[in-house]
Amino acid sequence: MTRFAAPIAEQIWDMKYRLKQADGTPLDLSVEDSWRRIARALATVEKDPAHWEERFYEALEDFKYLPAGRITAGAGTDRSVTLFNCFVMGTIPDNMGGIFDQLREAALTMQQGGGIGYDFSTIRPKGAPVAGVAADASGPLSFMDVWDAMCRTIMSAGSRRGAMMATMRCDHPDIEDFIGAKADSARLRMFNLSVLVTDAFMEAVKADGPWELVFDGVVYHTLPARDLWNRIMRATYDYAEPGVIFIDRINQANNLSYCETIAATNPCGEQPLPPYGACLLGSVNLARLVNDPFTGDAHLDEQALDKLVATAVRMMDNVVDASRFPLEEQAREALNKRRIGLGVTGLADALLMVRLRYGSEEAARQTERWLHRIARAAYLASVQLAKEKGAFPLFDAEAYLDSGTMRGMDEDVRAAIREHGIRNALVTSIAPTGTISLYAGNVSSGIEPVFAYAYTRKVLQKDGTRTEEEVVDYAVQMYRETFGTDAALPEYFVNAQTLAPLDHVRMQASAQKWVDSSISKTINCPEDISFEDFKDVYLQAYETGCKGCTTYRPNDVTGSVLSVSEVEDVAPGEAPDQVRGEGAQGAEVVYMSEPLDRPQTLEGATYKLKWPDSEHAIYLTINDIIVGGRRRPFEVFINSKNMEHFAWTVALTRMISAVFRRGGDVSFVVEELKAVFDPRGGAWVQGKYIPSILAAIGGVIERHMIATGFLEGEGMGLKSDPTAQVVNLDQPRGPACPNCGQYDMRMVEGCMTCASCGHSKCG
């Protein structure tokens, strides 16, 4: 028997969270081994580690508590990685030396796997004078380009994919350039962008008043506030960025407003943080806590919830002591405040199980009640930890209780904090859970609605065969198991395809009331929503107490992402059972479940290629692997002392190796390379005309394949990729996943996330 509710869950565990040796040999033989590894690692700081290891294991068991991916993958591994998900870096000084010091700190943080946020409002605007050098400033966006290039460099070095958030105040003189930066599809690809919107600006928008753009006390420009607001709205309407952060509300609601000021968030927006602030994340899986689902007696087990929350808070507090930090300033900030971000996942599934329609007023009230209960349990658990281990170092009872969320907290909780202190300054946050929700059996993600009840996932296996897997939402699967596979889904089953945007806002606002940090959520809007209705979504988010707003409207720029396929004879209330990229109906978009594993030692050969008129030779090393008793190419390395060759030889090395590792008949690579013609002319080599140096490389690879028996002879390779699929390009389609190639990218919790493999832009 397996603990996994779906094949995709086990695949996610194996690819992302399972501990393996460098050669790919698994050390975690089962998911129970992973749970045990995490539980043991986080219990080591306890006085009675054996007792707490068992308690922590119970919380992890059956995916009830889901630590964030960094913790699940890194705890107990002795790897030099941070277990914290996200950081906001230090304030950027308005001078060249300070700017590049911050760039270095950002690189070091991302090298260890941390996502980062920066406020670029502190850099003087473009055209401002630079004292002492008789020059004008290039402005914050020019330095954002430098950050963007650095992030791409970190990625190309093989480390974890970088994720960055850039914010800018709505009164900065360069705000209009910031708003329009993503209109250039090639610019700032490594950033999410958000405008820091103040209460004064929102009042000026509503009053149709003037708005001054100011830096260092100097007014650079005055324009109608409503015009600037419309520019923000038009940009996000057209290409989904920038987001909006209600920064005054964030600072007013901050439990630590007496000792810090926030001006930026982590990449997905759920963690507003001060300079060098860091936060670790984890989620309670509400879908696992519902008793008697889909009946009149359905209810969330609140006692079990209280117990689980208390254990989760203790585990997360221990992570603060167990984690490494890229920078000393980050470690100091984390230890002084001991911020944690406990959230939820599976909310939409839990609501379905208690027969509530996501987005309805009743569902919003139930969400508020559940989040209130979680907040109470988390604060009381942190008070208990303070009694045992001490309050966070910057705790000041009077100031803390008069700050932020604490002013509205229940009196018994306030009294307990007043008497005993509290271990963690902030305790709740609702983070993106795209990958861990798949790992937990495809439960609904965070507080998002179910995106689609089911979709078909086509997988290319190592032997070249294709399998087709249906990935079903956890609650839908449970309903089918209870009432039969042919049972029509009740009317309260709604998903992101049919949900009105203001229903999204209602759910976000209901959850925000009892979340002391913030919420990562995407409000999906239909493509044909009017611009005025679209703007109203943001105004409603502001008026109902949200701390920020992120929307996604499919269009020609952003892509159509996913849509439910048209299925004939769908019963009322029943969901179509397949989704795919719009416009790809009938096409088989496939990807490998995983590349071929690399043994520690491979056999191969190195070939010298001397191209006429070139001073330096090119050396090709081709290594092979044995699969099914047959030798086949696995990787290639192309080297030359000619630095003019460096970029393309590195690119070719990576691309060819990636194709070789996917399995199947990869001989088409030879024919593709041999067909490349250089417009400057080829060369005669050993009595044969070769049309380009790339064609010569193809010839070397072909000779190697013949020598090893992979090809029978020259010219006998496939002429095209046998797995390439034709997609109908006459229709709009969503973007392909850069990790697996499936057209399953969707905007979830502020991040483009792949439903097939769990790849996320924000990590």
pLDDT at 110: 85
Q: What tokens were used for 110?
A: 């991302």
Q: Given 252, 267, 292, which residue is the final one in a domain?
A: 252
Where does residue 714 fall: left (phi above 0), alpha (psi -120 to 50 degrees), or beta otherwise? beta
pLDDT at 5: 87
Domain residues for 244? 86-252
* DSSP sequence for 53-101: HHHHHHHHGGGSEEE-HHHHHHTTS--S--S--EEE-PPPPSSHHHHHH
Least confident of 176-185, 465-474, 531-540: 465-474
Are residues 86 and 751 in contact, defined by beta-carbon separation less than 8 angstroms?
no
Does 498 fall in a domain? no
pLDDT at 574: 31
pLDDT over 90 at 115, yes or no:
no
> Mean pLDDT in the chain?
86
pLDDT over 80 at 234, yes or no:
yes
Does 713 fall in a domain? no
| Cα–Cα dist 606/200, whole Å | 67
pLDDT over 70 at 297, yes or no:
yes
Whether 266 is catalytic is yes
pLDDT at 712: 80
Does 346 fall in a domain? no
Q: Of 616, 608, 612, which is closest to residue 644 (Cα–Cα)?
A: 616
Task: Give the best-scoring range by mean pLDDT among 83-87, 136-140, 732-736, 747-751.
Answer: 136-140
pLDDT, average across residues 557-566: 48
Q: Before 738, cis peptide (omega within 30)?
A: no
pLDDT, average across residues 192-196: 96
Q: What is the pLDDT of residues 620-670, one digit of tens each?
A: 999 998 876 678 899 999 988 877 778 888 888 988 988 888 777 788 899
The residue ranking higher by pLDDT, 80 or 318, is: 318
pLDDT over 50 at 565, yes or no:
no
pLDDT over 60 at 587, yes or no:
no
Q: How many domains does the chain have?
A: 2
Q: Of 751, 652, 748, which is closest to residue 692 (Cα–Cα)?
A: 652
| Cα–Cα dist 749/581, whole Å | 19
* DSSP sequence for 172-193: STTHHHHHHGGGSTTSSTTEEE
The residue ranking higher by pLDDT, 323 or 730, is: 323
pLDDT over 90 at 112, yes or no:
no
pLDDT, average across residues 741-747: 63
Q: Can you count the helices (H) and strands (E) in the chain?
A: 23, 31
pLDDT at 593: 42
The residue ranking higher by pLDDT, 640 or 376, is: 376
pLDDT over 50 at 561, yes or no:
no
pLDDT at 559: 60
Provide the pairing of β-strand 688-690 with 683-685: antiparallel
**Nearest-10 Cα torsion for 122, 128, 133, 138:** 70
Does 156 fall in a domain? yes
pLDDT over 70 at 742, yes or no:
no
Task: Determine which one of 170, 268, 546, 737 is catalytic.
Answer: 268
Whether 270 is catalytic is yes
pLDDT over 70 at 514, yes or no:
yes
Q: Given 660, 676, 707, which residue is the final one in a domain?
A: 707
Q: Is the dihedral of CA 385, 388, 392, 397 positive or negative?
A: positive
| Cα–Cα dist 251/249, whole Å | 5
pLDDT at 562: 43
Q: What is the pLDDT of residues 348-367, one digit of tens each?
A: 999 999 999 999 999 999 99
pLDDT at 462: 56
pLDDT over 50 at 157, yes or no:
no
User: How large a percentage of the chain has pLDDT more than 90?
Assistant: 61
pLDDT over 60 at 745, yes or no:
yes
**Nearest-10 Cα torsion for 97, 98, 99, 100:** 60
Does 67 fall in a domain? no
The residue ranking higher by pLDDT, 609 or 139, is: 139
| Cα–Cα dist 479/485, whole Å | 8
| Cα–Cα dist 683/23, whole Å | 42
pLDDT over 60 at 730, yes or no:
no
Provide the pairing of β-strand 523-524 with 551-552: parallel
pLDDT, average across residues 431-439: 89
Q: What is the pLDDT of residues 213-226, one digit of tens each?
A: 999 999 999 999 99
Q: Given 228, 252, 276, which residue is the final one in a domain?
A: 252
pLDDT over 70 at 458, yes or no:
no
- Host H or E run for residue 240: none
Task: Determine which one of 105, 270, 582, 672 is catalytic.
Answer: 270
Cα-flanking dihedrals φ and ψ of residue 19, to 5°? -75, 130
Does 523 fall in a domain? no
pLDDT tier at 723 (50, 70, 90 boundaries)? low
pLDDT at 463: 58
pLDDT over 90 at 722, yes or no:
no
pLDDT at 661: 84
Task: Determine which one of 85, 251, 254, 266 is catalytic.
Answer: 266
Least confident of 129-138, 407-416, 476-485, 725-734: 725-734
Does 598 fall in a domain? no
pLDDT over 50 at 724, yes or no:
yes
Whether 525 is catalytic is no
pLDDT tier at 156 (50, 70, 90 boundaries)? very low
How many CA atoms lie less than 13 Å away from 18 in the CB half-sphere?
Answer: 20
pLDDT at 282: 96
Task: Give the best-scoring range by mean pLDDT among 20-34, 631-645, 682-696.
Answer: 20-34
Does 619 fall in a domain? yes
pLDDT at 758: 65
pLDDT, average across residues 399-415: 95
